[in-house]
Amino acid sequence: MPELPEVETVRRGLEPVMSGATIKRADVRRPDLRWPLPERMAERLTGRQVRRLRRRSKYVLVDLSGNESLLIHLGMSGRMVISGDVPGSFHHHVLPAERHDHVIFDMDNGARIKFNDARRFGAMDLLDTVGAESHPLLASLGPEPLGNEFHEAYLIEALRKRRMPIKSALLDQKLVAGLGNIYVCEVLHRAGISPIRRADRISEPRIASLVPVIREVLTEAIAAGGSSLRDHRQANGDLGYFQHDFRVYGRESAPCRLNGCAGTVRRVVQSGRSTFYCPQCQR
């Protein structure tokens, strides 16, 4: 499932195409995705101007005129595909609707944006812009890891009584929003912390050291366009390339990439998910 860097990459790709433009026509081609789509969704979107695009955790929020916002979750295989007269680039042919194009936006600037989702694990909803944070999918989320509310003192306090592996704790979206399996593995390797260690037994200085490492990994991944393993592509169709910089994720039995470490990457299963780490340099 796309994590924070992939979703932020998609948001940044959509912003120059959608921000300030009006949805000339919305074509909703099925009644549901993972859940039922909002009533009269096409009618409520058509004619609305896009005021702003923002991201909360793994969700894109499109703020519209009329005080409604479109919430988009990509799910396992969802993609936003841009074609047509994309501002700032050469003309591209408007791509026709295909089998798994479930929602299509034709913008008044000549661009077409299609939400394509072969497995239909994605989701869309319409909500009031004012008070959007109270939406059931957003209400319990923790602070953004790149925001000011996420800092050393917060993380130390949040993990003080977590009697669970540190990896499981960092995957809890109520503790910090947007982190997923890939980037938690990478963060813990850079921080030299074993994913198996109990969170409440890690010293405060080591917990504090996670904050800059989390920001570093996420910032690098966003700059690289995210990680393309199966389905993720940027909104312009390009693949992300941060997967080429993975130090442990997906590298079972490969040599550790930390300079001076002679260890080998190991894979274990935690809560049904694969965890990759180096038992020699992660303690």
Environment class of residue 134 by beta-carbon count within 10 Å: exposed (0-12), middle (13-18) or buried (19+)?
exposed
**Interatomic CA distance for residues 206 and 196, integer angstroms:** 15
CA torsion angle 204 209 214 220 (round to 10)? 180
Single-letter code of the amino acid located at 220: E
Task: Output 46-51 pairs: Cβ under 8 A, ≥24 positions apart.
Answer: 47/22, 47/23, 48/22, 48/23, 49/20, 49/21, 49/22, 49/23, 50/18, 50/19, 50/20, 50/21, 50/22, 50/23, 51/19
Query: Taking Cα atoms as reference points, which of 71, 57, 75, 73 lies closest to residue 177?
Result: 57
Q: Which residues of 170-185 are buried (b: 16+ CB within 10 A; e: fewer)?
A: bbeeebbbbbbbbbbb
Query: Active-site positions?
Result: 2-3, 58, 273
Quote the radius of gyration of the chain (alpha carbons, Å): 20
Residue 125: name the closest of 198, 72, 186 by CA: 72
Q: What are phi and psi of 87, to 5 degrees?
A: -55, 135
**Is residue 38 within 8 Å of 124, Cβ to Cβ?**
yes
Strands 79-84 and 111-116, sheet pairing:
antiparallel
